[in-house]
Amino acid sequence: MIELEGLTKRYGEKVAVNNLTFTVRPGIVTGFLGPNGAGKSTTMRMMLGLDRPTAGDVRIDGKHYDRLRDPLKYIGALLDAKAVHGGRTAFNHLLCLARSNGIPRRRVHEVLDTVGLSSVAGKKAKGFSLGMGQRLGIAGALLGDPRILMFDEPVNGLDPEGIHWIRTLMKTLAAQGRTVFVSSHLMSEMALTADHLVVIGQGRLLADTSMADFIAHNSRTYVRIRSPQRERLLDVLHEAGVTVVESGGATLEVDGTGAERIGELAARHRLVLHELSPQRASLEEAFMRLTAESVEYHAHSDASASPQRWGDGWKRG
């Protein structure tokens, strides 16, 4: 279990992590979600004692990280795939880590086998692809067979097979009773793996909730309708007290009313429907809405919306 209390990190004027308090519990996969630059990696570095918090505290089962006597057997962490000396072979890299915690040499072979890097154990890490580097980092995290695992953006650079593998791995690790804490900036990825969700934006806690609750609270459900008798349908719905959100063109969207009721209404009034489909707003949208105000690096979407401006500018200039 990892407990954060009022964790704060300031770099000069800039507050990277702002008063974070939450608990990461064992037995489940906890997703740590936030847009780029939200402070996820800084938080994880503080959990591992790499960065000193400006204020607040992180405790691992009640202890500070640097008080752990057998750190690799307590926590395994994948921080970034590049935390490796490229001139060292995969085997030697893991052996250096194993030696530092008195882990037997045969365990290095075991983890290389687990992540599927046995065939390149004798190859230098600098020749590794991003995905292979990620697997090597995961092997390092698994080396001590730890009770807590932390992965910072583990699916980065992995191919679909690798992504599937890491999802299964994380779920298996959690099912064994371990604490699994995984960061990502992709909501869709978290929706598939995480049981619990901690969302941050600009270093602040935005949500600390179970995945199921997050889905229930944040994804808008609505019914999409298309009909050639649009005007009559609107009247009928209005009379029945159903609120309609028009979404341009021939489609209508109805919030908070089941497709069944609308279908029955249409049948009773002999209206032709071309489409009647229950929809669920994607979690990605919910996540973007939640973090909308805290996104640090906005892309200017209006630039792409009106491309003709580019040409205009040229002509006038």
Partner 1 sequence: MSTPQPPTQPAAPAGEAAPGAAHPAFPYPAPGPAYPGYTSPIPVVRTHFGHALASEWTKIKSVRSTMWTLGVFVLLVVGVGLLTGLVVTSTESDLSGESALSLGFFGLLLGSMCVITLGVLTTASEYGTGMIRTTMVACPSRGRVLLAKALVFFLVAFAVTLLSTTVVAFLHVAMLKGNNAGDPTGNEWLKATLGISLYIALLGTLSLAVGSVVRHSAGAITLMIGAVLAPLVVAMFMFSSSLEDVRTVLFEYSIPNQLSVFYANSLGTSGPSGWDPLWIMTGLTAVVLGGAFVLLGRRDV
**Residue 206 touches partner 1, criterion: CB under 8 A:** yes
Out of 51, 253, 284, 285, the residue judged to bind partner 1 by CB under 8 A: 51
Out of 49, 116, 131, 263, the residue judged to bind partner 1 by CB under 8 A: 49
Out of 10, 59, 73, 167, the residue judged to bind partner 1 by CB under 8 A: 73
Task: Give me the least distance between CB of 214 and partner 1, in Å please.
Answer: 7
Site string for partner 1, 217-256 (x = CB under 8 A): xx--------------------------------------
**Residue 70 touches partner 1, criterion: CB under 8 A:** yes
Out of 117, 154, 170, 178, the residue judged to bind partner 1 by CB under 8 A: 178
> How many Å separate Cα 191 from the centre of its chain?
8
Out of 8, 56, 59, 68, the residue judged to bind partner 1 by CB under 8 A: 68
**Residue 210 touches partner 1, criterion: CB under 8 A:** yes
Q: Are 21 and 7 in contact (CB under 8 A)?
A: yes
Backbone torsions φ then ψ of 306, nearest 5 degrees: -130, 75
Which burial class, exposed, middle or buried, applies to 316 when counting CB atoms under 10 A from its CB (0-12, 13-18, 19+)?
Answer: exposed
Backbone torsions φ then ψ of 273, nearest 5 degrees: -115, 135
- Cα 43 to Cα 23, 59, 152, 177: the distances in Å are 13, 13, 10, 23
**Residue 134 touches partner 1, criterion: CB under 8 A:** no
Q: Please enumerate in sequence order all residues whose Cβ is within 8 A of that of 193, keeping only pairs 6 or more positions apart, or say none.
A: 29, 31, 167, 170, 171, 182
Rank residues 102 and 228 by Cβ distance to partner 1 and give the closer one. Answer: 102
- Cα 241 to Cα 110, 257, 261: the distances in Å are 64, 10, 12
Q: Are 9 and 51 in contact (CB under 8 A)?
A: yes
Site string for partner 1, 148-177 (x = CB under 8 A): ----------------------------xx
Rank residues 75 and 254 by Cβ distance to partner 1 and give the closer one. Answer: 75
